[in-house]
Amino acid sequence: MPEAARNVLKTRVHNADVLAFIESFAATDQKRQDSLDLIDLMTKSSGCPPKMWGASIIGFGSYHYKSQKSRQEGDWFLVGFSPRKTAISLYVYTGASEHATLLEGLGKFKAGKACLYIQKLADINQAVLTQLMKTTIAFLRKKYLN
């Protein structure tokens, strides 16, 4: 496989219907309602409409990045989520150590490297989530869009 082909992300933005995706993918009424509420919250926080990224992620806004550690580069969303079966994955956190204090007061979640997992939206403080998203968006815009 050519080097350039190995460095291309498979998750890309496309024009599939976001609401149709939620209806078909969110396994419970709770996940469907939480997904609709997250769309509203993320649209307001980002100022960007929801778009499908890959098969199961709803993203808001975008930026182009080039990795400093590899040859990988591509486009990615500013914030997003996926209503997966086991948990809702929130892509709203940079994972940067200087942003760790933003997680205080968020509520009940599990953290991955740069992803947060929640069972339901009611488990987290939406004001804290909004501040977390705004900080993440500002960080990404400063780093990649200036």
Check pLDDT > 50 for residue 124.
yes
106 pLDDT band (50/70/90 cuts)?
A: very high
Q: How far apart are CA 125 and CA 107, in angstroms?
A: 6
* Over residues 92-115, mean pLDDT: 90
Q: How far apart are CA 135 and CA 141, in angstroms?
A: 10
1 pLDDT band (50/70/90 cuts)?
A: very low
* Over residues 33-52, mean pLDDT: 98
> Domain 3-144 falls in which CATH fold?
Aspartate Aminotransferase, domain 1 (3.90.1150)
113 pLDDT band (50/70/90 cuts)?
A: confident
Angstrom distances, CA of residue 111 to CA of 51, 68, 76? 24, 24, 20
Q: How far apart are CA 35 and CA 53, in angstroms?
A: 15
Residues of the chain with pLDDT > 90: what percent? Answer: 75
Check pLDDT > 70 for residue 3.
no
Half-sphere exposure at residue 66, Cβ-oriented, CA atoms within 13 angstroms: 2
